[in-house]
Amino acid sequence: MKKLLGILLGICFVQFVTGQSAVGTYSFIKYEENRLMFDKDSSSFMELFKKMNEVNGGDIKKLTIAHIGGSHVQGGTWSNTFLEGFQQSFNVQGGGYFVFPYKLAKTNSQPYARSFASGHWKKCRCVQKDFCLPLGMNGMSVSTNDSACVFGVALTNKAVCRKFNSVKVYHNFNCSFELNCNMHVNKEDCKDEGYTVFEFDELLDSVVFYMHKADTVAKDFTLYGFSLEDKTSSGFYLAGLGANGASSNSFLRCNFFVSQLKTIKPDLVVISLGVNDVQGKGFTKEEFIQHYDSLINMVKEASPNCAILLTTTTDNYIRRRTPNKRTESAREALIEVMKHHQCAVWDMYEIMGGFKSIYKWYKTGLAARDKIHFSPKGYKISGTLMFEAVYKSYLGNHKLVNK
């Protein structure tokens, strides 16, 4: 069996190094550049690759990926395609998702989950124009003061991990509200960790919660999201932490970012910020680096041994007309950050074709008219390419991580 696995991995490696990809062929995409960039120390990724082997062998149940970003990540397709690459390549079905109830915040949801609720909810976001507190690791929260409220979450047919038997509800533990579930369940309040966990005897694809307000003058009940986990088998878990409009300093404002990220214990953190930074006239390379330094330090505080992957800012236009030269400065900044923190860089800017390449993506239906965002197909290509870069590095080090 081990010999067969080695042969299969060898075939996959040959396919990757010869430039073959599952995304098709586009003349403007630089497939030969699709790799991870390291400076001197790649030890955190060697540890990640060992864990990938352990998931594959069933020695550990869950490997956790957190993807932090703005609208690219809130849209969900890029992150979900990245997750799908792992699940399919390692032939596992467990894992799960961290899901924020975007619908309650009246904004677009990620395609793999939907949320629903009764009553009136107000949103809080980490972006400049409507910044407020409290905020969790997703850069958002929703709150209500209704006397009786029902809310829930369901996985869709686009989810890679289709079922769960454990749900953590992240909330503010307002003692005037009682939170329960509509099913027979084992419930435990974990106040120090900031969530209530519900354990089920069967695998589910949706769940409904209800709460009752005992005190008429109670403060708001605040909801930060759900962790949906399948604990019956091994797999990869995705926390797509996306907030539309987020820039490099947005998550620095989230007062529960570190404490909540610590609860999911990410093994790999991917940071994909920068588009909203370079859209502003006040962008400076120095400030951009400072923000990334601070964010990486927060990530390391939450998960000291995790691997950190920075994705360079995607090419974009200003007001649909002007190619954005500031994006090249952001790319240079992230390479400096990589060297300082000894993390990795996936150079999406270069891979997609560099300066003005977003126009080519737009003309072939891979990007939106604003020449900032991608089409669903474009995001699938991004997620596939990013997975292939990580997997190629894993395959290249396969013999080392098996010693």
> Where are the chain's structural domains?
24-92+235-403, 95-233
Q: Taking a C-beta distance cutoff of 8 angstroms, is the pair 292, 316 a contact?
A: no
Which is nearest to 358 in space by CA: 19, 29, 20?
29
Question: Looking at the domain that runs over 24-92+235-403, which CATH code has it been given?
Answer: 3.40.50.1110
**Residues 357, 342: Cα–Cα separation, whole Å:** 29
Work out the number of other CB atoms within 10 angstroms of the CB of residue 112: 24
Are the C-beta atoms of 68 and 271 separated by less than 8 Å?
yes
Residues 6+ apart with CB under 8 A from 296: 271, 308, 337, 341, 343
Closest by alpha carbon to 349, among 377, 316, 308, 390? 316
The partner residues of 272 in beta bridges, in order of sequence, read 69
Q: pLDDT 10s per residue in the chain (403 long)?
A: 433 344 344 444 434 443 446 677 899 999 999 999 999 889 999 999 999 999 977 777 899 999 999 999 999 999 999 999 999 999 999 999 999 999 999 999 999 999 999 999 999 999 988 899 999 999 999 999 888 789 999 999 999 999 999 999 999 998 778 888 878 889 999 999 999 999 999 999 999 999 888 776 668 999 999 999 999 999 999 999 999 999 999 999 999 999 999 999 999 999 999 999 999 999 999 999 999 999 999 999 999 999 999 999 999 999 999 999 999 999 999 999 999 999 999 999 999 999 999 999 999 999 999 999 999 999 999 999 999 999 999 999 865 556 5
- SS3 category, 72: helix
Distance CA 14, CA 342 (A): 28
Q: Where are the beta strands (DSSP E) in 54-183?
A: 62-69, 95-99, 113-117, 122-125, 140-144, 148-155, 164-171, 177-181
Cα separation of 289 and 271, whole Å?
A: 13
Closest CA to 346 of 287, 269, 289: 269
Cα dihedral sign, 290-292-298-303: negative
CATH number of 95-233: 2.60.120.1360
CA–CA distance, 204 with 166 (Å, rounded to integer) = 9
Work out the number of other CB atoms within 10 angstroms of the CB of residue 59: 11
Single pTM value for the model: 0.93
Query: How far, in Å, CA of 244 to CA of 126, rounded?
Result: 9
Phi first, then psi: give them for residue 242, nearest 5 degrees: -115, 140
Q: Scanning the structure block, which residue is given the tokens 């003061």?
A: 145
